[in-house]
A = this chain, B = another copy of it.
Amino acid sequence: MFVLGIDPGLTRCGYGVVRRDGRRLEAVAAGVVRTEPSADLADRLADLHREVRSLVDEYRPDEVAVERVLFQVNVRTAMQTGQASGVVMAAAAGASVPVTLYSPNEVKEAVAGWGGADKEQVERMVRTQLGIDAPLRPVDAADAVAVALCHLARAGHPVAMAAGR
């Protein structure tokens, strides 16, 4: 089973593709889609739509998991991130791939064992589950891989918890 995890953002949108084969987990691809901050907002959103659609066409995931956008302190950033998440969902569902949303806490809990885990802990647990030694960078990509792992753990495809290894 192939899952494309996405940590939505307008300037930096993380993505991670994870394959699960029996109990074996493998990170197939991870990276960040960037749009130019100085460009027109509508053009940036159109670029993001095109890029996400390309990822779906290239990797043909069975399912897409997207981190839910919560309201942050910065209202303008929250609105832009919300717009980006809408575009990401439209691009995936437009390619007929089922989309599931997870809150940041659900992702942390599924991957690191508790909802209060920080970025470093999440990144470390992602690497442990995938058997990767080197640090996962950029961190948006690690977050997106975590979203994919969360989906595999939650959607009736239990992932071997690192704590149990």
Contact = CB atoms under 8 A, between A and B. Distances in A.
A90 B84 CA distance: 9
Integer count of this chain's copies in the complex: 2
Interface string A75-87: 1000100111111
A50 interface: yes
A90 B93 contact: no
Nearest to A97: B42
Contacts of A101: 41
Interface string A9-38: 000000000000000000000000000000
Contacts of A40: 93, 99
Interface in A43-64: 43, 45-46, 48-50
Size range of the chain A interface in the assembly: 20 to 34
A44 B93 CA distance: 9
Given A41-B99, A69-B79, A87-B87, 19 more contacts: A41-B101, A42-B90, A42-B93, A42-B99, A43-B93, A45-B87, A46-B90, A46-B91, A46-B92, A46-B94, A49-B90, A49-B94, A82-B83, A83-B83, A83-B85, A83-B86, A85-B86, A86-B86, A90-B90
20 contacts: A41-B99, A42-B93, A42-B99, A43-B93, A45-B86, A45-B87, A45-B89, A46-B90, A46-B92, A49-B90, A50-B94, A71-B79, A79-B82, A82-B82, A83-B83, A83-B85, A83-B89, A85-B86, A86-B87, A90-B90
Q: Please provide the 9 A-B residue pairs with the shortest distance between their CB atoms, ordered closest to farther.
A: A83-B86, A42-B99, A42-B93, A46-B93, A42-B89, A45-B90, A46-B94, A82-B82, A86-B86
